[in-house]
């Protein structure tokens, strides 16, 4: 029957299931333990994370990031297991990020996951990083059938679910929004602690002037590389005053805060536009924002205004769940495991969001 709600293929378990999730696709190393109870509820038992932070003006290289993950893996995992008040023998499966992400860090975490799997004779479950974000966002917020805006350092996608697949309606044609923000933070020498994107957000709150930047939506897609080039060019303008430089009170002066403000307003407006188009296309009144940039309060505010005008609502999580973490990998991995999926290879796989069979949803 048209409009009839399909029954979920994922049944309540006959016993409790517990999974360990390991995340390390970029500069965050995370380990989390999750529990699926008999009554169908989900409980976060632990969620531990350690971040590789580089000096101001520098990014993080794959080799150095992988070394960080190798050095901190045992500490982070032991902490997660201890906080969950379990032992490794209590686990039903070990889940890890299989991709997409940076090759060397992915390999380091995959090696740890495979080693633990062999040592404790536990099934191994590879998880798509993007799907991990979506499933944790759905679990935490209770969003039913939202349009998903996935924004992070490596990904920018507008996604909607249909027939056991997260389908991509629009995405970046070049660099991700988080990468755009991070790279500009390096240009103006902002700190990487706790993250460059967070410091861009704080700086933008002090901005008073909106400078002209390209507005490059192309259908359902966006292009961000040209915007980054344009905003960088303003730092060579004679009117620009870097942080700490004396400046006269003049309407012509351009400050770092003005550029951060302008960059956020322009890029976030583009993201709101393509998200609204996807909402109109599928008839949804819900928006779920996931990924590290999803923590940005200005993005949430702008998306909320749009959703309210459409009679809808916005769902987002705080930094515990929107920034890369192990618990989202545990959640998506345990859903897969309960549907009968197990890994046969630990080789990292750079697979897209729409290549995952979402077997646990109707």
Q: Please report, rounded to a whole number, the percentage of residues in the chain having pLDDT higher than 90.
A: 91
At residue 46, the pLDDT reads: 98
Q: What is the pLDDT of residues 166-208, one digit of tens each?
A: 999 999 999 999 999 999 999 999 999 999 999 999 999 999 9
Is the pTM higher than 0.85? yes
At residue 2, the pLDDT reads: 41
Of 42, 36, 43, 109, the residue nearest 76 (C-alpha): 109
Please check if 92 is assigned to a binding site: no
Please check if 247 is assigned to a binding site: no
At residue 4, the pLDDT reads: 56
pLDDT of 8 > 70? The answer is yes
The arithmetic mean of pLDDT across residues 301-313, rounded, is: 97
**What distance in Å separates the CA atoms of residue 146 and residue 356, rounded to the nearest whole number?**
18
pLDDT of 248 > 80? The answer is no
Please check if 151 is assigned to a binding site: yes
Please check if 129 is assigned to a binding site: yes
pLDDT of 280 > 60? The answer is yes
Q: What is the pLDDT of residues 136-176, one digit of tens each?
A: 999 999 999 999 999 999 999 999 999 999 999 999 999 99
**What distance in Å separates the CA atoms of residue 7 and residue 145, rounded to the nearest whole number?**
15
Please check if 150 is assigned to a binding site: yes
At residue 341, the pLDDT reads: 94
Burial class (CB in 10 A: 0-12, 13-18, 19+), 185: buried
Please check if 152 is assigned to a binding site: yes
Residue 351 pLDDT grade (very low, low, confident, very high; cuts 50, 70, 90)? confident
Q: How far is CA 192 from CA 71, 102, 199, 261, 288, in A?
A: 20, 18, 8, 18, 26
pLDDT of 249 > 90? The answer is no
The arithmetic mean of pLDDT across residues 321-334, rounded, is: 98
Please check if 267 is assigned to a binding site: no
Q: Whole-number mean pLDDT of the chain? A: 95
pLDDT of 16 > 50? The answer is yes
Please check if 197 is assigned to a binding site: yes
Q: What is the pLDDT of residues 21-76, one digit of tens each?
A: 999 999 999 999 999 999 999 999 999 999 999 999 999 999 999 999 999 999 99
């Amino acid at each position: 029957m048209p409009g009839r709600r399909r029954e979920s293929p994922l049944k309540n378990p006959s016993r409790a299931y517990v999974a360990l999730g390991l995340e390390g696709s970029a500069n965050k190393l995370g380990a989390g333990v999750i529990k699926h109870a008999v009554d169908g509820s989900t409980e976060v038992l632990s969620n531990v994370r350690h971040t590789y932070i580089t000096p101001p003006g520098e990014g993080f290289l794959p080799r150095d990031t992988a070394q960080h993950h190798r050095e901190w893996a045992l500490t982070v995992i032991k902490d997660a297991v201890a906080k969950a008040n379990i032992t490794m023998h209590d686990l039903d499966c070990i889940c890890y990020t299989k991709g997409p992400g940076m090759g060397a860090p992915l390999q380091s975490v995959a090696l740890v996951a495979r080693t633990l799997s062999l040592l404790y004779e536990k099934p191994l479950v590879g998880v798509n990083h993007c799907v991990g974000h979506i499933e944790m966002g759905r679990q935490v917020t209770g969003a039913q059938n939202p349009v998903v805006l996935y924004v992070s350092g490596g990904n920018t996608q507008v996604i909607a679910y249909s027939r056991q697949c997260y389908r991509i309606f629009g995405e970046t044609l070049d660099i991700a929004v988080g990468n755009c923000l991070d790279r500009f933070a390096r240009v103006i020498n902002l700190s990487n602690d706790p993250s460059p994107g967070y410091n861009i957000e704080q700086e933008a709150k002090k901005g008073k002037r909106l400078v002209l930047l390209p507005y490059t939506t192309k259908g359902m897609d966006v292009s961000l590389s040209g915007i980054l080039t344009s905003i960088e060019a303003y730092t060579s303008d004679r009117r620009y005053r870097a942080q700490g430089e004396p400046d006269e009170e003049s309407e012509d002066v351009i400050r770092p805060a003005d550029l951060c403000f302008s960059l956020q307003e322009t890029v976030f407006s583009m993201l709101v536009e393509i998200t609204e188009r996807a909402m109109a296309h599928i008839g949804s009144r819900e928006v779920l924002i996931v990924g590290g940039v999803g923590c940005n309060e200005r993005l949430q505010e702008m998306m909320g205004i749009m959703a309210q005008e459409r009679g809808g609502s916005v769902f987002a999580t705080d930094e515990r769940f929107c920034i890369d973490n192990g618990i989202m990998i545990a959640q998506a991995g345990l859903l897969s495991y309960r549907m009968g999926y197990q890994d046969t290879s630990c080789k990292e796989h750079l697979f897209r969001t729409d290549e995952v069979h979402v077997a646990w949803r109707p």
